[in-house]
Chains A and B, each alone.
Chain A
Amino acid sequence: MLSFIGRSIIQKIITLFFVSVVSFLIIHLAPGEPSQVDPLNPKFTPEMVERFREAFHLDKPLEVQYLYFYRDLFTGKTISWKDNQSVLKKIWERFLNSLLLFIVGTILMWTISFPIGIRSAIFRGGLYDRSSTFLSYFLISIPSFFFAYILIIFVVNSFHIPVIGMQTFGIGDTAWFSRAMDRIWHLLLPSILSAIAGIAVLSRYVRSQMLEVEGQDYVRTAKAKGLAADQVHYKHALRNALLPFVTMFGMILPGLIGGSVIIESIFAWPGMGRMAYEAILARDYPVILTINFVSAVLVLIGTFISDILYLVVDPRIRL
């Protein structure tokens, strides 16, 4: 077990290294210059441009820039080129905003998908199954921004509640209760939206796993022993069907960084997705690279957790 963990960690660190190199190359090989250093930018005089170039180490060869960047990253000193703030601080603030959205969305997604998928599998072919199937496909296929606008129009027109931003402008110092309610309303639509596609996909997957397990021999044995129907489904079948999802659970972690750019743009939610988007536009290299790095770290940690969970949960796998 320990040797597996050790090997796994080493492999992941190597992968991380390659990821950092690749992302660095992608950024720097792309044409275009960061706005501060752009010779065409009318705001800066040529001398200022030169000063910026030096400050950003852009005049040095690539390998040196790489080393500079990662030194700054690990000592926490990376500075955004756009507005001179510490990158890590910026990321942290936005991260907290995204976190809220993400947690609500994930809870919604996982608690709704399973009952739907399980019920669809047990009553395969019935009305419930067919309608939830169609609904799932519908939700997967609709462009998220289109659906978002429809929902916004519907909610704003029916309930007269503002939904843009994290809180209503000017709510300032009202009682904490109304501020909390306000926050909840603003949180509701974006989380539902970001959960929706996930629910559609996940419930389909739950259904197909459940169907596959229900066809296995040991389910027949359980019935032959005289077990009642829901014991058969929920004790024997479900336990096996859930195995792959345990590993999926570990992969939730990378979703933190993902944050949907689109949803955050529509709802003017100040989250990580939008920050990354703005950074890309401004070619704010430190921010882009940091986000990339953090996301890679999260993915690798997530995979690692998935592997360990799988080991723990499936008795057939023992190292």
Chain B
Amino acid sequence: MNMSPHSNDKDYQLDEPLAPKKTPLEEFWRLFKKNRLAVAGMVFFVLFFIVATVGLVLTRGKNPVIDPSRVRLEDKLRPPLARPNLEMLQPDEVPKLGVYIFGTDDLGRDVFARMLQGSWVSLTVGFVAVGIAVIVGIFLGGIAGYYGYRHVRVGQLLAAAFLIAGAVLLIGKHIWAGAALLICGAGFILIAPLMKKSIQGTTQPAWARLWLFNTISIDTLIMRFVDIMLCFPSFFLILTVVALLPASIYNIMIVIGLTSWMGTTRFVRAEFLTLRELDFVAAARALGLSNFRIIFRHMMPNAVAPVLVSATIGIATAILTEAGLSFLGFGVPPPNATWGNILSDGKNFIFDAPWLTFVPGIGILIVVLSFNLFGEGLRDALNPKLRERN
């Protein structure tokens, strides 16, 4: 009646584990595996990574193995899988593989080679931008969540206000006023600990109490900052900054990063607010661990899940944003190729040479789709509410 195929035959030890133990990683993988789309996304993610690295190696330097910038005016606008015109070309202009896999563009450049080169750039843009956003987000969100209930004192507020005002005045070219305010601000910071020490124990005089009075909390301060940043429509902000600054790939990465940290901040803050009340934090504090250690070694690994999810989706968004910027003419400047670049250059020839838009377009679609699927799969697998009760 009870022939379970999984039961143990040998003598049951009393303290044996109830079920085969699984490490968190195995548990995660088991949940993740169930979502076939997410696994496909991950596979493509890895593939893309490989392609980008290989592409970088093959197309860099003065004499690259596959040359993306070789102009062949005789062979322009050839469709994919077309054979090169061997009579007209120099020997070193012939594409390495014998055919133009993705065709050529209006300058005769091999689209395949450009896609290879562009993959690394798109990848870098995505990762660096998201890296910046995540670092800023974790930092601000962590502080807001952990120290949030502490308040900014009047003294600190005055110091900060003086410093900022001084800096602004300096930029506005009022050298003397600016410098004076800066020095005052710095001074405030320096005397603060001295003041605290001197007043401890004795009854505090009125001006000292005012100095140490609590104004707004750190949490409110940071969240207001987030609100301010959210008031700017993000694409506009990016567009504004990118249009006004000299065009370079680094500017684009930094700008995209500095405009997308708000979501991560909110997630991290929410996680920290919950985690902070949990018993394991109280236990850690009772053991005497320093705040720093508690935050980074104990709380952070628990808060990482939503950050990871928004990071993968953020990479996808960053790649799309870069493509959009290229479309409007503000992307990475030529001759560097990015997939957005190639697509945008190709839009002029959409009726005559549709592959110039289709190839990069579908490429972007596949990469972004796989990142998104991977991110959603991560979210489902890491979601504690959906975990099995093992």
Contacts and interface: CB of A to CB of B under 8 A. Distances in A.
Given A257-B233, A261-B328, A296-B232, A62 B323 contact: no
A29 B372 contact: no
Contacts of A61: 172-174
A283 B232 CA distance: 18
A149 interface: yes
Chain B interface, DSSP helix/strand/loop, else mixed: helix
Chain A interface, DSSP helix/strand/loop, else mixed: helix
A25 B372 CA distance: 36
A277 B357 CA distance: 23
Given A137-B369, A146-B343, A153-B350, A262 B173 contact: no
B368 A141 contact: yes
B327 A262 contact: yes
Max count, chain A CB within 10 A of own CB: residue among B173, B350, B361: B361
A283 B340 CA distance: 25
A121 interface: no
Contacts of A288: 240
A141 B328 contact: no
A283 B328 CA distance: 16
A161 B307 CA distance: 46
Interface stretch (B66-74, B202-210, B243-251, B286-294): B243-251
B376 to A, nearest CB: 7
Contacts of B332: none
Interface stretch (B49-57, B132-140, B223-231, B295-303): B223-231
Given A141-B365, A295-B233, A296-B232, A149 B324 contact: no
B241 interface: yes
A160 B24 CA distance: 58
Contacts of A62: 168, 171-172
A23 interface: yes
B152 interface: no
Interface in A190-223: 212
A299 B327 CA distance: 27
Interface in A233-284: 254, 257-258, 260-262, 265, 276-277, 280-281, 283
B159 interface: no
B228 A18 contact: yes
Interface string B321-350: 001100110000000000010010001001
Contact of B228 (A22, A31, A254, A281): A22
Contacts of B233: 254, 257-258, 295
Contact of A143 (B168, B230, B239, B320): B320
B244 to A, nearest CB: 3
Contacts of A67: none
Interface string A59-82: 001110000000000000000000
B235 interface: yes
Given A23-B232, A62-B172, A143-B323, A149 B350 contact: yes
B37 interface: yes
Contact of A261 (B235, B347, B376): B235
A168 interface: no
B374 to A, nearest CB: 11
Contacts of B324: 143-145, 262
A155 to B, nearest CB: 14
Given A29-B171, A143-B364, A15 B224 contact: yes
Nearest to A153: B350
B316 interface: yes
Contact of B239 (A25, A261, A299): A261
A262 B328 contact: yes
Given A145-B327, A277-B239, A31 B231 contact: no
Contacts of B373: 137
A31 B245 contact: yes
B370 to A, nearest CB: 8
B12 interface: no
Contacts of A133: 37
Nearest to B320: A143
B365 A63 contact: no
Contacts of B320: 141, 143
Given A137-B376, A283-B244, 19 more contacts: A15-B227, A25-B168, A27-B244, A30-B244, A32-B244, A61-B172, A62-B171, A137-B37, A138-B369, A141-B365, A141-B368, A141-B372, A145-B327, A149-B350, A258-B235, A261-B236, A277-B328, A281-B243, A296-B232
17 contacts: A16-B231, A19-B231, A31-B245, A133-B37, A137-B369, A138-B369, A141-B320, A143-B323, A143-B364, A143-B368, A145-B323, A149-B347, A153-B350, A257-B233, A261-B236, A280-B239, A300-B231
Interface of A: 11, 15-16, 18-19, 22-23, 25-27, 29-32, 61-63, 133-134, 137-138, 140-146, 149, 153, 212, 254, 257-258, 260-262, 265, 276-277, 280-281, 283, 288, 291-292, 295-296, 299-300, 303
